[in-house]
Chains A and B, each alone.
Chain A
Amino acid sequence: MEEIERFRLSTRVLHWAIVIFTCLLGASGLCIYISQIGGWVGQGGYVGYIHRVCAILFVLSAVIYLVTNFKSSIKFLKEAFVWGLSDLGWALAAPDYYFGGDPEKMPPQEHINTGQKLYWLAVIIGVVVFLVTGILMWAFRDIVSESVFMWSLLIHDVAFIGAMVMVALHLYLGSIHPVMTESLKSMVTGKASIEYCEHHHGRWLRHELKKKESES
């Protein structure tokens, strides 16, 4: 079966690095959030240390990617904020499509579809919220007023609940949902079959094939 590259190696490395740091951040955060785990794991005070180190590595990996892949990063970042009529087409077709309806009714999608774009936007907003509130509680603890600290903590918690649900959704759609047969595979190997891309990222595929033709 003919395949086409979906994600470059650097993109995949970033994705899986983010996966590891997100899991560690979530787990160490839960230790402070849930008393039963916290009392047990809290010994030694390593939990906060792991949380901080992972936050730094998370940001660092994103920054390294941004610097080394500047052009495509900016393009990808912009993608989250450009919305049009085609997104409405996705939204109208999505309920049926994601409940096993006829895939032909879904309008052809870009490199990432509208749903993935929504997730991407949520990730950007989430990271900013986590970072701002986290840094306030970490570096500026002695400077900010009690109410700023209180709100930071509350917002950090709300963001965590939101992120937990979004990550669960991402995990389900990416690797379990019966329609998404090659989503996980493409993030591991970098490639997906032409057939899969036709169904899932039609507009992008046409564009890519044209580019290849003109190159050869």
Chain B
Amino acid sequence: MTEKALLIDVSKCTGCRACQVACKEWNGLPAVETTCTGTYENPPDLSPDTWNKIKFTEIGSTSDGTMRWLFRSERCLHCTDASCVEVCPTGAVYHHELGFVAYDRTKCTGCGYCTQYCPFNIPQLSGNKLTGMQKMDKCTFCLDRVANGLEPACSKACPTGAISFGNRGDLILKGSSRVNDLKSNGYSNAYLYGEHELGGLHTMYVLDEKPEVYGLPADPQYVPGYEVVRQDILKPLGWALIAAAAGGFALNFLVSRSRMVKAGKKEEE
């Protein structure tokens, strides 16, 4: 099937947070009570009840000396090389056939490996840290809507057209042409983030500044060979050792038993 994606053009974002509210509304997520910390950015971070939020950034010294106020909708980037999918021990986090990263909450054991290895710190654990009875939550790409031919709630709600939903290939073309426009308008750092990062992201950004300025890693890293060691070397080794031990014990039992019987017979004689 054709891979779907979201393209978020931050140069068109006004920080209205309609997508943030639409996400909460559609997914039935309650509001979180927060305190004012001197910024419009609210809530301060993603949480199990906030899967999408606008990140506000102020930069005071641009090249032309003016001040800029930047907005970016922060949410799961739905990587192709997704660390969370790789490290999830129960297969609860998986790649949907449409390309994005979905998860089956009932399979989640709350181990939290996904929260450890996500290069963007997206997955959030809810529940009790002490007991470990936790569940992971994050942006679902509005799986229920998309699977039924609708667009995600965030792009539907966006009033400026900053968020568009569509076939990934089409969006790359759209994003690239927008980047060129921005560049010719003086935004020399304009960049289409997600075209190549981590095998291709399914949430792509048209950025008018460097990724770091927007709080995105310039070169996000996939989980290192660690999981390969665990899955491809450690697990088979464990099984092989147990099998070898079982075989060894059986052999030992037969040999020692027969020798003892023999020795016993000799004694009788």
Contact = CB atoms under 8 A, between A and B. Distances in A.
Contacts of B130: 52
Nearest to B106: A43
B257 interface: yes
B116 A39 contact: no
Contact of A168 (B116, B129, B245, B256): B245
A45 B108 contact: yes
A32 B259 contact: no
A209 B134 CA distance: 57
Contacts of A177: 252-253, 256
Given A141-B112, A164-B242, A49 B89 contact: no
A147 to B, nearest CB: 9
Given A146-B116, A157-B234, A176-B249, A52 B107 contact: no
Contacts of A81: none
A31 B259 contact: no
Interface residues of B, number: 44
A60 interface: no
A179 B256 CA distance: 8
- Residue of B132, B134, B260 with most partner-chain A CB within 10 A: B132
Nearest to B234: A157
Given A161-B237, A168-B242, A178-B260, A42 B252 contact: no
Interface of A: 31-35, 38-39, 41-49, 51-52, 98-102, 138, 141, 146, 149-150, 153-154, 157-158, 160-161, 164-165, 168-169, 172, 176-179
Interface of B: 89-92, 106-113, 116-117, 127, 129-135, 224, 226, 229-230, 234-235, 237-238, 241-242, 245-246, 249, 252-253, 255-260, 263
